[in-house]
Amino acid sequence: MPNSPIRKLVPFADDAKRRGIKVFHLNIGQPDIPTPQCALDALHRIDRTILDYSPSQGILSLREALVRYYAGFGIGLTPDQILVTTGGSEAVLFAFLCLLDPGDEIIVTEPFYANYKTMALACGATVKTIHTKLEEGFRLPDVEEFEALVTPRTKAILICNPNNPTGYLYTREEMLRIRDIVKKHNLVLISDEVYREFVYSDEPYLSAMNLEGIKDQVILVDSVSKRYSECGIRIGALVTRNKDLYAAAMKLAQARLSPPLLGQLVAEASIDVPKSYLQGVYDEYIARRDFLVQGLREIPGVSVPLPGGAFYAMAALPVEDAEDFCKWCLTDFSWEGKTVMMAPGAGFYATPGAGRNEVRMAYVLEKKELAEALVVLGKALQAYNAR
């Protein structure tokens, strides 16, 4: 089972900080934007005398609020189709445990969120990957490449849209292509849509939940972590219209008793956040995206596609081994008392050797800090390649 490419270098960053070096964290998708005030107010207002278990599927009022939320995206649901989970990660794990026996297979586009592989391995399953290329903007390959991977042991296709780690946004044509494969081979489509608020395209966002012809074959993975800057409350959701899948997930939910009570109370309050909050967050991220991409493209030898969503960018650096470079930045380098931390790209691939010169960057710092981080990165690349 692999270490997390996002967190594996943390001890080196901690050592750098102990030496008095400022570390610009581009390695992890922890937003720096304040949590909505209505959510913090709800936390302060909690006056319960007992912090008790909630229902295993989550508090009804939260699930009803989520029904209203999804309706805003044209997704029609009922509360009994929503299961509240301990973050989006538990929703992914529950989906895998419901679908995958040891030896089964799941098809995932790569690069992919690294924990997908960890969770599949925990189920004894195999991840089979559709390779996408940085130089092609991470667009999907032809349908024949999907078809070639389908075997009798294939149970599901997993997508993340908008994508972590690439920021790629699937087109309507690509979503329909995936839908047709799922329908033809009687698979389940697991769609991680945690970043749906951050879509930088004029085209209408198409959720997997709205794909015609496979409505009983879709599992939606969701989380409040990113859109409300609430990573620490650990509230996500598994959403499906398939009654058998929901019943299977409920067994797992009952086994872990309940999702976090306080997190649910905060999440429920967050759903009614003023639109001005979400618009402000959106505007800030798209400005940061443009600033980061432009700055990266000005560094000699760096290549980066323009992300269509989320708040990540995958960049190719002029180095042979990005993991060694990222570690070196923390152990051996600083510029005016500063260094930068990134997630090595190879950890987001399953194909041996793929992504070896790539890094994932999360633009979760304000532009002033991004500007400093870009200067430090440029200086680091010069020093590293001059050794």
pLDDT digit string (tens) for 33-80? 999 999 999 999 999 999 999 999 999 999 999 999 999 999 999 999
Percent of the chain's residues with pLDDT above 90 = 95
Residue 1 lies in a domain: no
Distance CA 348, CA 364 (A): 19
DSSP output for 316-379: E-SSS-HHHHHHHHHHT--BTTEEEE-EEGGGG--STTTTTTEEEEE--S-HHHHHHHHHHHHH
pLDDT of 144 strictly over 90: no
pLDDT of 228 strictly over 90: yes
pLDDT of 4 strictly over 90: no
Same domain flag for 198 and 266: yes
Confidence of residue 31 (pLDDT cuts 50, 70, 90): very high
Residue at a domain's end among 270, 289, 322: 270
Distance CA 347, CA 114 (A): 6
pLDDT of 121 strictly over 90: yes
Is pTM beyond 0.85? Reply is: yes
What is the model's pLDDT at position 187?
Answer: 98
Across residues 154-165, what is the average pLDDT? 97
pLDDT of 318 strictly over 90: yes
Confidence of residue 1 (pLDDT cuts 50, 70, 90): confident
Distance CA 101, CA 107 (A): 15
Across residues 211-237, what is the average pLDDT? 97
Residue 44 lies in a domain: no
List the domain range (segments joined by +) for residue 216: 49-270
Same domain flag for 82 and 176: yes
Q: For the domain that residue 241 is a member of, what is the CATH number?
A: 3.40.640.10
Give me 299's structure tokens: 């560094």
Same domain flag for 175 and 309: no
Distance CA 92, CA 98 (A): 10
DSSP state of 220: E
Distance from CA of residue 342 to its chain's centroid? 16
The secondary structure of 89-136, three-state, reads HHHHHHHHHHHCCCCCEEEEEECCCCHHHHHHHHCCCEEEEEECCHHH
Tell me the average pLDDT of the chain.
96
Same domain flag for 238 and 159: yes
Nearest C-alpha neighbor of 330 from the set 7, 32, 1 = 7
Residue 43 lies in a domain: no
Same domain flag for 256 and 298: no
Same domain flag for 69 and 170: yes
Residue 41 lies in a domain: no
pLDDT of 5 strictly over 90: no
Number of domains in the chain: 2
Percent of the chain's residues with pLDDT above 70 = 100
Same domain flag for 209 and 324: no
Find out whether 188 and 182 touch, Cβ atoms under 8 Å: yes
Across residues 306-318, what is the average pLDDT? 98
Q: pLDDT (tens digit, 9 = 90+) per residue, 177-210? A: 999 999 999 999 999 999 999 999 988 889 999 9
